Amino acid sequence: MTKHKRRFGSVASELVKKAREAMLTAVQIFNNPQIEFKSELFIVTTAIAWTYLLHAYYRKKGIEYRRFREGLQRRSFLKTKHGAIWHWSLEECLEYSACPVDPIVAKNLKFLIGIRHEIEHQMTSRIDDRLSAKFQAAALNFNATIKRLFGPRYSLDSEQAFSIQFSAIAEDTAVELLVQPDLPQNIHSYIVQFENGLSQQEYDDPRFSYRVAFVRKTTNSKTAADKVVQFIPADSTAGAEANRVFLRETEKKKYRPSSIVKQMRAEGFTKFNMQHHTDLWKERDAKNPKHQLGAPVEGSWYWYEPWVEEVRKHCRLNEALYKPTLSTPKTVDFST
């Protein structure tokens, strides 16, 4: 019995060490300026890190994390075609009723798992900027979880740091990142669908997506002037303003076509109808992914705020057609 416990502990310890090394590797990969295949490698390596960590926890608790089939006499472990015993995937670890991971942390991981499924069998264009907040959250969550489950000696606090870059962040660069014209449509659709299923509280939780607003800082204090990052309380005036500006740039409100038509009618363009809206977006090729004016979600198309502004501009330029008047023009200009 003693021998079993000793072996039991050694396997769990080895899994924890491997989990820690895998997460460190994931962070190093993402921070390496010479690697372009960042997101894909980070997600795969992070999934391995979390899987080993949860396997270690379940082993420590005596929870069977190997796949098996119950027989009349004994349980039969499922094996690969070459004879290795199947172990739970990360998804199975997260779905287990006694999983030690907080629900919002699990949603962050499930988001990354979904991205992995979308990219694992095909090449993708650059998606690092769109997903980096989720990656940062996954790394911080891992550090907090490994310390909570196995103690502070496994902490990665001293290992993780902010990545230094050679180029400054200009305003035009920041705007360009927000547009993301090269984000693959399947990835874009998956992100929109997943985030639509979150409550506002879950979406704002830093354990799901760790967002940092960078503001150029000038100060008269010599001790504070050299700090690259300064933390301010979220409930302070400065914190509230920073959060307001940041959320305004990153959160995209979504509109159904019928909502846009109703809104235009409420603004006085009472003759504007669904057919007019359809003709307009077709004329402008507005659903082309390069414009980033909307996205499909579960078979339905949702429009973003910039498209609503385009529709509003069109209605104003053709006010005589869409507002009640004594005479109605026979033609409408869709090219404006």
pLDDT in tens, the chain (336 residues): 334 444 445 888 999 999 999 999 998 888 887 887 788 888 999 999 999 999 999 999 999 988 777 655 667 777 777 777 888 999 999 999 999 999 999 999 999 998 888 776 555 556 666 778 888 889 889 999 999 999 988 988 776 555 554 544 444 444 444 444 455 667 777 777 787 788 888 888 888 887 665 555 555 555 544 554 555 666 667 666 656 555 444 456 788 999 999 989 888 899 999 999 999 999 999 998 888 888 887 778 989 988 999 999 999 999 989 988 655 455 555 555
pTM over the 0.85 mark: no
pLDDT score for 179: 45
- Give the Å distances, CA to CA, from 57 to 14, 253, 277, 327: 12, 40, 55, 76
pLDDT score for 325: 67
pLDDT score for 212: 62
CA-wise closest residue to 249 among 304, 196, 303: 304
CA-wise closest residue to 203 among 108, 270, 120: 108
Residue 174 dihedral angles phi and psi, to the nearest 5°: -60, -40
pLDDT score for 120: 65
pLDDT score for 40: 84
pLDDT score for 23: 92
What is the distance, to the nearest Å, from the Cα of residue 262 to the centroid of all Cα atoms in its chain? 31
